[in-house]
Structure 1
């Protein structure tokens, strides 16, 4: 089997939520970002921007939007990766071209660009011994982030990453078996027996069995649907997301 340092780094990756006080040097951070900007894009427009936050007061402003997760304040660097069609649109106008990017498709294109860059950055950072944590809360509470970072029209936060040198070596989180995620030639729907096999390991983990007991549920699936990611919460955050997208010009 082909093995490289990067492949081994990815296979052994862990989400880091506790960081050393050691700072991340500007030279290293800038090199990682510049290299990540070689990631693939939709149409070679590079419709993304990255907001680098080191200032303590700025982290304080961002923290509530991320449900006050401690790593936002504790990490040396917080990076907000944004879909950005503003820069490209301004360039078009300046070159006598009429931009038509105030729509959802353009947001999707920019979001794809943004996530490609973000994941490339994370892979490079971990290869250099840094730890990262993705914050899914970015799209749950986009408006406070937009306000704190003063994001103009056609700029939208897609994901946030905390960055620093790890102060912990947590266990790896479980992943579904490779065979259950691959479909040859076309999508093959799952039989009940296949689903049982696919989720058997996840359901057997002691920490997941503990979650079931603590939440007084019958199955792990109910922990997800009734506690962690409820329909009510998903609908509420969807409204927040759509309202913020409209305010930023992507749903005109």
Structure 2
């Protein structure tokens, strides 16, 4: 299992080999054994396999091709709807219409998602997390017909790999692990931690292609711009209000 975790690769191209119902259920069963706050299991997973539904879902992920190409697309949702219904049917009034409850459910959903991904890779499948889910959560809610109390958190495409990409870089362990208390970084430490990333040929090409001076500028000015962050933050906050978490 350690080797599986350390050899993780993001797979964006898949063969047309289907995932059997038995294997998919086995992977999902492993997923729902993840830790959950208070054993409430305040999450749901929407499985998309139908081609027509993938067509509807693709624009919600900026039409990334793997949404339609992968045999299975999984949308992991923070879900207090089911728990609230149970509470009210048992003469208990739920108090989960607040931001803390959303965070609780979002954490639950992400824990399940990671369990699913590790289980899938252990069975020879490839996965890709889609960070677009929270950007267009309002559109996904409409496509998947998510009721009040349910918010999509992340999406994972699942299938047999049709590529063997190299691993992407990671910061050294010393860059992300702190013992006992958080130790802030000196400018010299920042230089050292990001040196390898900045010197990768593909990242140098990335900087040149975008006509920037540094890799950091690619992130701040091109990939994750302030204006975009503010726009999608507004959209997500509106979603949380509409879905009953504010």
| TM-score above 0.5 | yes
Q: Distance in 2 between matches of 1:165 and 1:97?
A: 45
Which residue number corresponds to residue 31 of structure 2?
Answer: 36
Alignment partner, residue 151 of structure 1: 146
1:214 to 189, 209, 215: 209
Matched residues in 2 for 1:97 and 1:244: separation?
26
The one of 129, 135, 158 equivalent to 1:134 is 129
- Aligned partners of 1:250, 1:217: CA distance in 2, in Å? 40
Deviation at 1:82, TM superposition (A): 0.5
> Unaligned regions of 5+ residues in structure 2, if any?
none
C-alpha separation in 2, matches of 1:182 and 1:79? 31
Provide the rounded CA distance (Å) in 1 between the counterparts of 2:103 and 2:211: 39
**Corresponding position of 1:162:** 157
Query: The residue matched to 1:138 in structure 2 has which SS?
Result: coil
Tell me the distance in 1 between the aligned counterparts of 2:240 and 2:55.
24
Q: Take 2:147 and 2:125, find their aligned partners in 1: how far apart are those partners?
A: 31
TM-score of the aligned structures, taking structure 2 as reference length: 0.99
Q: 1:180 deviation in Å? A: 1.1
Cα distance in 2 between the residues matched to 1:102 and 1:31: 33
TM-score, structure 1 length as denominator?
A: 0.97
- 1:93 is the counterpart of 2:112: no
- 5+ residue gaps, structure 1: 1-5
Aligned residues between the structures = 246
Deviations 1:52-105 (A, max 9, x none): 000001000000010000000000000000110000000000000000111110
- Secondary structure of 2:158's counterpart equals strand
Alignment of 1:38-187 (within 5 A): 38-187=33-182
Following TM superposition, by how much is the alpha carbon of 1:34 offset from its aligned partner in structure 2, in angstroms? 1.1
1:236 corresponds to: 231
